[in-house]
Amino acid sequence: MLAFTKMARFQGLLQTRATILLIRNYHKQHVEVVWKKPKIGWTKLNFDGSRGREGQASIGGIFRNHKAEFLLGYSESIGEATSTMAEFAALKRGLELVLENGWTNLWLEGDAKIIVDIIAKRGRLRCEETIKHVNYINVVMPGLSNCVLSHVYREGNRAADKLAKLGHQFQDPKVWRVQPPDIVLPIMHDDARGKIILRTK
């Protein structure tokens, strides 16, 4: 009888916990995430960093116009680096390509909020390599006619994320100028048609 009573209480406790989890999940907010096209005359860069095994990092980015058409993509391995350093390296490399191509109206977008915060608030950094990237970024951005830096959730940065992860495979830097790698095409099509991706907060 005692064992049965304990079993009944245990089952009741499990049901209560399951109910609480169900309620919590039900009340979780869903955020609609969409990749947005730049204005006419603007170029948009989505950039990202990726950190793999044993601290090895790679970077990637993709440029598109107001019609969501591909302009240029890049991807490369950068060796051992922190996640933050990889994000800054991805943005720095993107800005180097901006200068090479003469683009002046730029929308820069990444999924690491810390990058936007440090650039906007001139936050302090300890890593010398990262400081070099940030100094370069802070010199180039004001020199452009128009330049906006924004944060987007990862779901809105999928093309750059794919290119950054692809960088782990390469020994030499890659730049695509006519057509992106096939692995990015489905994401680009989704972005161009404004596909909404739900993100659970």
Q: Among 10-14, 18-22, 104-108, 195-199, where is mean pLDDT lowest?
A: 10-14
- The pTM score is 0.84
Residue 56 domain flag: yes
Mention every residue, 6+ apart, whose C-beta is less than 8 A from residue 123.
117
Mention every residue, 6+ apart, whose C-beta is less than 8 A from residue 83.
49, 51, 57, 112
Angstrom distance (rounded) from CA 58 to CA 75: 7
Mention every residue, 6+ apart, whose C-beta is less than 8 A from residue 157.
35, 46, 48, 109, 110, 111
Mention every residue, 6+ apart, whose C-beta is less than 8 A from residue 198.
30, 31, 32, 33
Mention every residue, 6+ apart, whose C-beta is less than 8 A from residue 88.
49, 115, 130, 133, 134, 137
Residue 162 domain flag: yes
CATH number for the domain that contains residue 149: 3.30.420.10
Domain region containing 190: 33-200
Tell me 189's DSSP state. H
The pLDDT value given to residue 4:
45
Residue spans of alpha helices (H) in 66-127: 83-101, 113-121
Mean pLDDT, all residues of the chain: 88
- E-assigned strand segments in 1-69: 30-33, 43-51, 56-64
Residue 145 domain flag: yes
Angstrom distance (rounded) from CA 107 to CA 37: 10
Segment 60-82 mean pLDDT:
97
> Is pLDDT at 10 greater than 50 in this prediction?
no
* The one-letter amino acid at 155: E
Using an 8 Å Cβ cutoff, are 61 and 94 in contact?
yes
Read off the pLDDT band of 20 (50, 70, 90): low
Residue 12 domain flag: no
Residue 109 domain flag: yes
* The one-letter amino acid at 160: A
Using an 8 Å Cβ cutoff, are 181 and 9 in contact?
no
Segment 46-70 mean pLDDT:
96
* Structural domains of the chain, count: 1
Residue 86 domain flag: yes
Q: Among 4-18, 120-134, 149-163, where is mean pLDDT lowest?
A: 4-18
The pLDDT value given to residue 156:
97
Residue 44 domain flag: yes
